[in-house]
Amino acid sequence: MLQINNLTCGYDSKPVLRNINSKINSGELIGIIGPNGSGKTTLLRSITRVLKPQKGEVMFEEKNILNIGFRELAKKIAVVSQNFECNYISVEEFVLLGRIPYYKRFQLFETKNDREIAEKYMFLTDTLKFRNQPIKDISGGERQLVLIARALAQEPKLLLLDEPTAHLDITHQVRILNLIRKLNKELGLTVIMVLHDLNLAAEYCEKLILINNGKIHKMGQPEEVLDYRIIEEVYKTVVVVKKNPISKKPFVILVSKNLNGTGNPV
């Protein structure tokens, strides 16, 4: 579905990512991890044409995204970002914004079909119950679900999420990631998401891309990427990696500097 070839891009001619190569197959659930400032969000922006490559190319379904119109691209790729400024419109009005790429020429208002599609995805994300509430009146976790509902209203093939669990408690983290996995498995939606929490990334993603200093440091299944030596090299901190006793996925344990080699307090 998506192929990135020798991509170099950044801001004001200063490269952030250098020589990125990756291939994403249809139906995969991919996690992008890495230290702050490593280029994770920049990679998402390059996939959506927000940033033009300084070198290389991004291919979507074997077509260079620079040759795909913005309206057509919005029907194929949807983005769930961290911030938005639509606090005073209702949840339903916000979700309906996802239908704009489908508006015909001179169309000013949504159609009955648009409203039905918006309602379908509000139901799927469990946001239908506050469809008439202003976005400013709902919680952070509920806002994240509304953002996902709007993205789904675009009926994309590829869903990109930039830290969808940031600033949320564990209840909402699990709820949102369970929903994303459900969308991936049941709807066949291809998903790429940036995550800071290595344990959540290991638990929910089929494949991880570890970015460090603007380059892909390691790519593969969670157990291949989340090796303690790799984590210590990239994050510059001491960790222990075990297996989750239930899922058998890798689980990263931080080691405090106040402990000695025996695990006892110093």
pLDDT digit string, tens, across residues 19-70: 999 999 999 999 999 999 899 999 999 998 888 999 999 999 999 999 999 8
Evaluate whether 244 touches 203 at the Cβ level (below 8 Å): yes
pLDDT band at 109 (very low <50, low <70, confident <90, very high): confident
pLDDT at 260: 53
DSSP letter assigned to residue 187: S
Its pTM stands at 0.90
What is the layout of strands, in order, in the sheet containing 207-212? 77-80, 158-162, 190-194, 29-33, 207-212, 215-220
Stretch 201-230: mean pLDDT = 95
| Minimum mean pLDDT range among 10-14, 36-40, 173-177 | 10-14
Distances (CA, A) of 159 to 64, 132, 133, 203, 227: 18, 26, 26, 19, 28
pLDDT at 122 over 90: yes
pLDDT at 264 over 60: no
pLDDT at 83: 67
pLDDT at 266: 43
pLDDT at 262: 53
pLDDT at 13: 78
**Backbone φ, ψ for residue 21 (5° rounding):** -130, 130
Beta-bridged to residue 5, according to DSSP, are 57
pLDDT band at 106 (very low <50, low <70, confident <90, very high): confident
Q: Return the sign of the alpha-carbon dihedral for residues 234, 239, 242, 247.
A: negative
pLDDT at 171 over 70: yes
pLDDT at 248: 92
Q: Helical H runs in the chain? A: 40-47, 70-74, 91-96, 112-124, 140-153, 170-186, 198-204, 222-225, 228-235
pLDDT at 112 over 80: yes
Residue spans of the domains in the chain: they are 1-76+156-221, 88-155
Stretch 11-26: mean pLDDT = 91
Q: Name the percent of the chain lying above pLDDT 90.
A: 76
Evaluate whether 136 touches 88 at the Cβ level (below 8 Å): yes
Averaged confidence pLDDT in the chain: 91
At the fourth CATH level, which superfamily is domain 1-76+156-221? P-loop containing nucleotide triphosphate hydrolases (3.40.50.300)
Helix, strand, coil % over all residues of the chain, rounded to 5: 35, 30, 35
| Minimum mean pLDDT range among 146-155, 200-209, 256-265 | 256-265
* Number of C-beta neighbours around residue 115 at 10 A: 15
